[in-house]
């Protein structure tokens, strides 16, 4: 009988196979679904009143199998929960995502030290009140070009040398166990000094070939999870570590928590971490990633009482800062995360005053690699602008080693442009007399700038390994000075709506998805914003399409077209337009048809176009055929906010991080419309934004203002001068005509 039922059921259900194609997830009662046809006996319960349970006859047969079924994981090894206390770099300006001579991060968490001599200062934070470990690990690997017998790393802990090891891990990461005798509870300084010798060649290329990579997260010490104190200090160290690894700060925010709370908490955390930090705001019910978290933030809705901050260890091992909203949250946050000293920007250069490199925070620069780089970053006021042909003055105190190879040179650059080339192959072995270098001031701009040095010392010969040197190759003293003249307050675009001033509390998004809005609020709160009144309106397509402000620089149809263009497949073959963009620097250039540009007429037309419209093409011309995943638009009226429109394909955290990077870049200056493309770059309009006077100017600065405008659009102003010249001749012509007329009479 059982078998008969089985056959009937299988036959019945077999007929339901096509039903699997019907897909109505989360559907309701109106969803058309089909279920297996079951025998009457299975779907028609007896209509009799409740039957008294029958008492089955006792069975003395075998015990039910189910009793022997065990879910025990007795074979599973429960390992003690531990914390890896990795190393981190103290200097937060180490370049990320690119390889440079010296220290750089080719990828998050992997620190590469390139060149024959390189050094870096690291930090190892150990739990307070715990006995320091007897040793710690340094996980590293070196290039195969390193000659192990002549390549080594010297490790110092808290300025006490801990030992020297050969750099012999060329086949993969290996571990050096460093004695921890000098370690102490709290923050320890670990200095690495590397000497790397190329096994075959010598010269600038060989300098790049010798390197050692330190795996920072895997280095350090492993301690029992319980040893990590649940304190704000441990949390700060943990956050700093994950930011250096390139991981996002995981923030869990349930419904009902105020966005003001989110902004306040992230603002407090942001004051303690670098600007590269990124966050991910999600519901506490979103699954956690497989890799889990090391630190996290959990926001909780308050019950009307006082705010509370506590540090917990999640069952997954993460150190979680739990914040319960309530009264006094700001004070509580200020006590938990004391604000960093609001020091003057150490890299700020005061225009009109001779400033030493030391005042700019630059150390003594000593280089001993055949290719060497060094940078002296500094910042000018945001409203500093000089586009004219004036000169700035660099007074260079430097020296170089005796008997450097013929052809050795030093390039001195301002923002990447070479301002002088100095030979290093004559009269070396001493500090040279101060060298005064005048360079075009229009190489500098408001905000961050860099004076950099690039030394190239050929091998002698290049096909043999380098001889050992007992003197330094290059030294740039930090007594060198820089003098930049002041300018009238000018900027590309009006400053009162500057993107950099938008903080988390300035984000508006009445209808957008909570995760989208919260991620932006959190991310912008994490960054340090400048003074200003700008606001940011978020919108997501398609749901917010009809709510977009009609006063935006782009109308709704144009915005829709930008997103639709991205969705269409690329034309193939003959239909494909011959447009190219070979690198990011070309982004600002209008998409040009090479065929059209050929010919004198087209060139003349372009030239005339630039003459009458120095900012470049109009927005409606520029936007043609462009596509994007997000569009940023400046306000067109004083009461309007900036508007950022995105579609739902771009993850909120990706867009938020991209936006914060963009607004900090030079490209954001003066932009009125910016397109965030699918490849992560931003295209901005206008391509050459017009300068604006953004503050009161003195009478004697008028010529500088005019000079800036004239330098910005020389053709345009030449045309104006020409017109004025022509106009100025008119009275003379009139006078001549009138006087000749009188004479004729």
Partner 1 sequence: MNRREVIVGASALGLMPAMGAFGQEAGASLQSLVPAWNAWKAAYLQPDGRIVDVASGGASHSESQGYGLYLAVLFRDVEAFRLIYSWTEANLALRTDGLLAWRWLPDATPNVPDMNNASDGDVFYAWALLMGADLFDLPQCRGRAGVIVKAVARLCLPPVPNDSGRRLLAPGVEGFVRPEGIIYNPSYWMPKLMSDLAVAFNEPSLQRAVDDGLARLGEMADAGLAPDWMMATPDGWTAAPEGFSSNTGYEAMRVPVYLCLSGQASHPMVRRYRTAYEAAGLDAGTPTVFDGKTGEVLERSPDIGYAALAGLASCTGAGGAKLPIPLFTTDQPYYPATLHLFVLIAQIQGFPQCQPI
| Stretch 68-87 residues interacting with partner 1 (CB under 8 A) | 68-74, 76, 78-81
Residue 460: Cβ-neighbour burial (10 angstroms; 0-12, 13-18, 19+)? middle
Chosen residue from 18, 159, 171, 287 binding partner 1 by CB under 8 A: 287
Closest to 660 in 3D by CA, of 465, 482, 530: 530
Q: In this complex, which beta carbon is closest to partner 1, that of residue 54 or of residue 340?
A: 54
Chosen residue from 13, 123, 420, 422 binding partner 1 by CB under 8 A: 13
Task: Give least dist CB 301 to partner 1, A.
Answer: 8
**Crossing angle between the packed helical segments 514-526 and 652-664, to the nearest 10 degrees:** 30
Any contact of residue 306 with partner 1 (CB under 8 A)?
A: no
Any contact of residue 181 with partner 1 (CB under 8 A)?
A: no
Any contact of residue 50 with partner 1 (CB under 8 A)?
A: yes
E strand or H helix that includes residue 189? strand 186-195
Task: Give least dist CB 241 to partner 1, A.
Answer: 19
Chosen residue from 18, 23, 531, 725 binding partner 1 by CB under 8 A: 23
Per-position DSSP letters for 245-266, written without gaps between them: TTPPEEEE--TT--HHHHHHHH
Task: Give least dist CB 233 to partner 1, A.
Answer: 19
Scanning 136-144, 298-306, 373-381, 560-568 for contacts with partner 1 by CB under 8 A, the matching segment is 298-306
Scanning 25-33, 333-341, 485-493, 613-621 for contacts with partner 1 by CB under 8 A, the matching segment is 25-33
Chosen residue from 18, 26, 467, 578 binding partner 1 by CB under 8 A: 26
Any contact of residue 16 with partner 1 (CB under 8 A)?
A: yes
E strands along 351-434, which residues?
355-356, 365-367, 371-380, 391-396, 398-400, 409-414, 417-423, 430-431
First to last CA, the chain: 137
Strand-pair partners of 394: 437, 482
Closest to 235 in 3D by CA, of 158, 300, 322, 315: 322
Chosen residue from 201, 206, 271, 298 binding partner 1 by CB under 8 A: 298
416: alpha, beta or left? (left if phi > 0; alpha if psi -120 to 50): left
- Which residues 226-245 are close enough to bind partner 1 by CB under 8 A? 226
Q: In this complex, which beta carbon is closest to partner 1, that of residue 33 or of residue 601?
A: 33
Task: Give least dist CB 25 to partner 1, A.
Answer: 5
Scanning 101-109, 249-257, 384-392, 471-479 for contacts with partner 1 by CB under 8 A, the matching segment is 249-257
Cβ neighbours of 366 (radius 10 Å): 15
Any contact of residue 304 with partner 1 (CB under 8 A)?
A: no
Closest to 203 in 3D by CA, of 474, 459, 455: 459
Chosen residue from 66, 574, 730, 733 binding partner 1 by CB under 8 A: 66
Chosen residue from 129, 159, 171, 290 binding partner 1 by CB under 8 A: 290
Scanning 286-294, 327-335, 386-394, 706-714 for contacts with partner 1 by CB under 8 A, the matching segment is 286-294
Chosen residue from 121, 134, 200, 312 binding partner 1 by CB under 8 A: 312
Closest to 409 in 3D by CA, of 372, 435, 377: 372
Q: In this complex, which beta carbon is closest to partner 1, that of residue 79 or of residue 638?
A: 79
Any contact of residue 574 with partner 1 (CB under 8 A)?
A: no
Q: Which residue has the tokens 């998004």?
A: 509
Does the CA dihedral 578-582-583-589 come out positive or negative? negative
Chosen residue from 163, 174, 284, 399 binding partner 1 by CB under 8 A: 284
Any contact of residue 283 with partner 1 (CB under 8 A)?
A: yes
Does the CA dihedral 87-91-92-97 come out positive or negative? negative
Distance CA 601, CA 589 (A): 20
Scanning 59-67, 234-242, 375-383, 384-392 for contacts with partner 1 by CB under 8 A, the matching segment is 59-67
Strand-pair partners of 163: 155
Scanning 55-63, 102-110, 567-575, 582-590 for contacts with partner 1 by CB under 8 A, the matching segment is 55-63
Chosen residue from 187, 271, 288, 651 binding partner 1 by CB under 8 A: 288
Residue 114: Cβ-neighbour burial (10 angstroms; 0-12, 13-18, 19+)? buried
Task: Kindly state the number of chain residues that form the binding site for partner 1, as judged by CB under 8 A.
Answer: 87
Scanning 3-11, 371-379, 572-580, 657-665 for contacts with partner 1 by CB under 8 A, the matching segment is 3-11
Any contact of residue 585 with partner 1 (CB under 8 A)?
A: no
Closest to 531 in 3D by CA, of 505, 502, 504: 502
The angle at the Cα of 523, spanning 519 to 524, to the nearest 5 degrees, equals: 120
Chosen residue from 187, 223, 225, 508 binding partner 1 by CB under 8 A: 225
Task: Give least dist CB 24 to partner 1, A.
Answer: 6
3-class DSSP assignment, residue 14 = helix
Cα pseudo-dihedral 378, 383, 384, 387, rounded to 10: 130
Q: In this complex, which beta carbon is closest to partner 1, that of residue 7 or of residue 738?
A: 7
- Which residues 129-158 are close enough to bind partner 1 by CB under 8 A? none
Q: Do the Cβ atoms of 97 and 105 come closer than 8 Å?
A: yes
Binding mask 373-392 for partner 1 (x = CB under 8 A): --------------------
Q: In this complex, which beta carbon is closest to partner 1, that of residue 31 or of residue 330?
A: 31
Question: Is there a cis peptide before residue 492, judged by omega within 30 degrees of 0?
Answer: no
Cβ neighbours of 430 (radius 10 Å): 10
Q: How far is CA 478 from the centre of its chain?
A: 29
- Which residues 459-498 are close enough to bind partner 1 by CB under 8 A? none
Distance CA 562, CA 585 (A): 21
Closest to 241 in 3D by CA, of 288, 294, 194, 199: 294
Q: Quick one: tokens of 517?
A: 């809005």
Any contact of residue 21 with partner 1 (CB under 8 A)?
A: no
Task: Give least dist CB 334 to partner 1, A.
Answer: 23
Chosen residue from 18, 35, 571, 744 binding partner 1 by CB under 8 A: 35
Closest to 385 in 3D by CA, of 490, 240, 266: 490
Task: Give least dist CB 290 to partner 1, A.
Answer: 5
Any contact of residue 286 with partner 1 (CB under 8 A)?
A: yes
Any contact of residue 43 with partner 1 (CB under 8 A)?
A: yes
Chosen residue from 93, 181, 316, 620 binding partner 1 by CB under 8 A: 316
Any contact of residue 29 with partner 1 (CB under 8 A)?
A: yes
Chosen residue from 44, 171, 470, 557 binding partner 1 by CB under 8 A: 44
Any contact of residue 432 with partner 1 (CB under 8 A)?
A: no
- The number of CA neighbours under 13 Å toward the Cβ of 405 is 19
Q: In this complex, which beta carbon is closest to partner 1, that of residue 66 or of residue 730?
A: 66
Any contact of residue 52 with partner 1 (CB under 8 A)?
A: yes
């Amino acid at each position: 009988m059982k078998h008969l039922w089985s056959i009937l059921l299988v036959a019945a259900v077999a007929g339901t196979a096509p039903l699997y194609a019907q897909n109505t997830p989360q559907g309701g009662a109106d969803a058309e679904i089909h279920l297996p046809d079951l025998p009457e006996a299975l779907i028609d319960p007896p209509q009799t009143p409740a039957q008294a349970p029958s008492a089955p006859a006792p069975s003395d047969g075998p015990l039910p199998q189910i009793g022997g079924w065990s879910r025990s994981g007795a074979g599973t090894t429960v390992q003690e929960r531990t914390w890896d206390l990795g190393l981190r770099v103290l200097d937060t300006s180490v370049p990320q995502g690119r390889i440079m001579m010296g220290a750089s991060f080719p990828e998050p968490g992997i620190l590469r030290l390139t060149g024959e001599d390189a050094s870096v200062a690291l930090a190892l934070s150990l739990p307070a009140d715990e006995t320091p470990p007897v040793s710690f690990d340094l996980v590293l690997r070196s290039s195969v070009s390193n000659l192990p017998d002549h390549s080594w790393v010297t490790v110092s802990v808290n300025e006490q040398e801990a030992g020297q090891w050969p750099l012999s891990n060329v086949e993969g990461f290996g571990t050096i166990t460093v004695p921890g005798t000098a370690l102490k509870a709290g923050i320890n300084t670990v200095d690495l000094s590397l000497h790397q010798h190329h096994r075959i060649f010598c010269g600038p290329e060989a300098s790049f070939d010798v390197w050692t990579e330190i795996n920072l997260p895997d280095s350090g010490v492993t301690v029992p999870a319980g040893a990590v104190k649940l304190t704000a200090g441990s949390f700060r160290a943990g956050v700093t570590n994950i930011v250096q690894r390139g991981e996002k700060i995981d923030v869990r925010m349930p419904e009902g928590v105020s966005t003001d709370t989110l902004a306040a908490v992230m603002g407090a955390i942001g004051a303690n971490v670098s600007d590269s930090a990124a966050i991910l705001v999600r519901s506490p019910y979103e699954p956690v990633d497989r890799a889990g978290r090391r630190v996290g933030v959990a926001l909780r809705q308050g019950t009307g009482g006082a705010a509370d901050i506590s540090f917990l260890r999640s069952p997954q091992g993460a150190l979680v800062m739990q914040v319960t909203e309530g009264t006094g949250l700001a004070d509580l946050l200020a006590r938990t995360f004391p604000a960093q000293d609001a020091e003057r920007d150490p890299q700020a250069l005061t225009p009109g005053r001779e400033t030493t490199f030391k005042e700019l925070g630059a150390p003594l620069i000593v280089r001993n690699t055949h290719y060497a780089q060094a940078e002296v970053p500094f910042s000018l006021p945001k409203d500093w602008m000089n586009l004219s042909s004036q000169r700035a003055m660099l007074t260079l105190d430097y020296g170089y080693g005796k008997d450097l190879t013929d052809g050795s040179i030093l390039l001195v650059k301002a923002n990447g442009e070479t301002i002088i080339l100095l030979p290093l192959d004559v009269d070396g072995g001493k500090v040279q007399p101060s060298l005064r270098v005048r360079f075009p001031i229009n190489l500098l701009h408001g905000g961050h700038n860099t004076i950099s040095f690039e030394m190239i010392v050929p091998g002698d010969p290049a096909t043999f390994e380098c001889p050992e040197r007992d003197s330094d190759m290059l030294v740039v003293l930090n007594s060198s000075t820089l003098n930049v003249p002041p300018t009238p307050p000018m900027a590309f675009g009006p400053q009162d709506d500057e993107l950099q001033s938008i903080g988390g509390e300035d984000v508006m998004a009445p209808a957008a998805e909570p995760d989208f809005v919260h991620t932006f609020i959190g991310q912008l709160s994490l960054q340090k914003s400048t003074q200003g009144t700008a606001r940011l309106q978020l919108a997501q397509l398609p749901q917010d399409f009809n709510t977009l402000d009609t006063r935006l620089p782009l109308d709704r149809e144009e915005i829709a077209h930008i997103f639709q263009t991205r969705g269409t497949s690329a034309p193939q073959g003959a239909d494909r337009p011959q447009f190219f963009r070979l690198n990011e620097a070309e982004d600002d250039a209008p998409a040009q048809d090479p065929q059209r540009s050929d010919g004198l007429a087209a060139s003349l037309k372009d030239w005339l176009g630039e003459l009458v419209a120095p900012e470049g093409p109009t927005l409606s011309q520029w936007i043609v055929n462009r596509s994007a995943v997000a569009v940023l638009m400046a306000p067109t009226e004083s009461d309007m906010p900036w508007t950022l429109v995105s579609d739902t394909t771009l993850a909120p955290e990706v867009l938020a991080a991209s936006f914060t990077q963009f607004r900090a870049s030079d490209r954001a200056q003066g932009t009125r419309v910016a397109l965030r493309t699918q490849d992560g770059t931003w295209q901005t309009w206008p391509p050459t934004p017009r300068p604006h006077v953004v503050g009161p100017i003195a009478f004697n600065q008028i010529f500088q203002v005019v000079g800036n405008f004239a330098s910005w659009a020389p053709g345009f102003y030449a045309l104006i001068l020409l017109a004025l010249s022509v106009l100025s001749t008119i009275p003379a012509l009139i006078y001549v005509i009138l006087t000749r007329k009188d004479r004729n009479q």
